[in-house]
């Protein structure tokens, strides 16, 4: 199983999108500072994730979220999440 996820930094609100085959491990890596590029933006909260049966579908979805049209959908998802969790 593969997962596409959206994380939000609680420090500055910045969003991060990626994919992994172990969501719990990856979330732990972000919050433990093991991901060098985001180490200074800890802690993170998980905003959204989707599960896929194969890596190709997960990487295609991640790539879509990072595209112009996909970033609009990603912003909508985050706005919806933040609206429900005020």
Per-residue pLDDT tens digits for 8-23: 999 999 999 999 999 9
- The residue range of the domain holding 35 is 2-84
How confident is the model at residue 32, as a pLDDT? 95
**Number of domains present in the structure of the chain:** 1
CATH classification of the domain holding 73: 3.40.1440
Percent residues over pLDDT 90 in the chain: 83
Counting beta carbons within 10 angstroms of the beta carbon of residue 28, is it exposed (0 to 12), middle (13 to 18) or buried (19 or more)?
Answer: exposed
Average pLDDT over residues 33-55: 94
Q: Which is nearest to 30 in space by CA: 55, 21, 49, 40?
A: 40
- What is the pTM (predicted TM-score) of this model? 0.89
């Amino acid at each position: 199983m593969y997962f596409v996820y959206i994380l939000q930094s609680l420090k500055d609100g910045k969003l991060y999108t990626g994919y992994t085959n172990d969501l719990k491990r990856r979330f732990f890596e972000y919050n433990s500072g093991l991901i060098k590029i985001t180490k200074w933006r800890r802690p993170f909260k998980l905003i959204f994730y989707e599960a896929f049966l194969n890596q190709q579908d997960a990487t295609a979805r991640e790539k879509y979220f990072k595209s112009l049209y996909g970033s609009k959908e990603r912003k909508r998802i985050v706005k919806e999440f933040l609206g429900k969790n005020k």
